[in-house]
Structure 1
Amino acid sequence: MNVHDKAYDLARAIKESSEYMEMKDIRAKVDADPSAKNMLEDFRKRQTEFQQKMMAGEMPPQEEMEQMQKLYEVLALNPNIGRLFDAERRLSVVLEDVQRIIAEPLESMLK
Structure 2
Amino acid sequence: MSQLYTIAQQLEQAIRASDEFQQLKQAYETVRRDEATYRMFTQFRDVQMQLHEKQMMGADISPEEVQQAQAMMSLAQQNEKLVALMMLEQRMSTVISDINQIAMKPLEELYRSFTE
Q: Fold-level match, TM-score > 0.5?
A: yes
Larger Rg: 2
In structure 2, distance between residues paired with 1:34 and 1:101: 39
Q: CA deviation at 1:65?
A: 2.4
Please list every run of 5 or more consecutive structure 2 residues that lacks an aligned counterpart in the other structure.
Answer: none
What is aligned with 2:105?
A: 104
Question: Do the aligned residues in 2 keep the contact of 1:76 with 1:85 (CA within 8 Å)?
Answer: no
Post-superposition offset of 1:98:
0.5
The aligned counterpart of 2:65 is 64
Q: Return the alpha-carbon distance in structure 2 between the equivalents of residues 103 and 70 of structure 1.
A: 38
| Alignment partner, residue 38 of structure 2 | 37
The runs of at least 4 aligned residues of structure 1 exceeding 6 Å deviation read: none
Counterpart for residue 16 of structure 1: 17
Q: Deviations over 1:52-90 (max 9, x none)?
A: 000001231344224313311211211111100000000
Stretch of structure 1 that moved more, 19-28 or 101-110: 101-110
Q: Percent identity?
A: 28
For 1:54, the aligned partner's letter is Q
Give the paired residue count. 111
User: Structure 2: how far apart are the matches of 1:63 and 1:27?
Assistant: 29
**TM-score, normalised by the number of residues in structure 2:** 0.88
Q: Which blocks of at least 5 consecutive residues in structure 1 are unaligned?
A: none
